Amino acid sequence: MKKTGKIDYLEMSATGGTLDSVKAFYSAAFSWSFQDYGPTYSAFDEGLEGGFQTDGTEAAAKPLPVLYSENLEDTLAAVENAGGKIVRPIFSFPGGRRFHFTDPAGNELAVWGE
């Protein structure tokens, strides 16, 4: 069940290899299956949904936890009011909209909504 503030997705970079090599590794090692969304992104659903990004302009340097929000604008305001720093304002992507922020320790997270 999707609920505001729950970890909903995990994005990981695949810029150190090809998307095919990353998919082949996780398929062979853990029997993962993938759904491609264009030439630079492939998603998985293995208990936690996530995806690998090969586009260096879009890929996060570290794994990117993605939280869900029922109201993106309200959650953005709550993040700012709690001391989070918005590093990427709300933008659209295939499947919804999201924003990125850093917490007081410098960890980057994203929040998405439909």
pLDDT one-digit tens code per residue, 4-45: 999 999 999 888 778 999 999 899 988 999 999 999 999 999
Provide the pLDDT for residue 104.
83
Q: What is the pLDDT of residues 75-95, one digit of tens each?
A: 999 999 998 999 999 999 988
Q: Provide the whole-model pTM.
A: 0.81
Distance CA 114, CA 12 (A): 21
Instruction: Tell me the one-letter amino acid at 98.
Output: R
Q: What is 7-113's CATH number?
A: 3.10.180.10
DSSP 8-class letter at 64: E
Domain boundaries, given as residue ranges, for the chain: 7-113
Q: What's the pLDDT tens digit per position in 38-71?
A: 999 999 999 899 999 988 888 777 899 999 999 9
Report the alpha-carbon distance of residue 21 to residue 108 in Å, rounded: 26
Residue 95: C-alpha distances to residues 51, 53, 86, 112, 113 (Å) = 13, 15, 21, 9, 9
Cα 15 to chain center, whole Å? 15
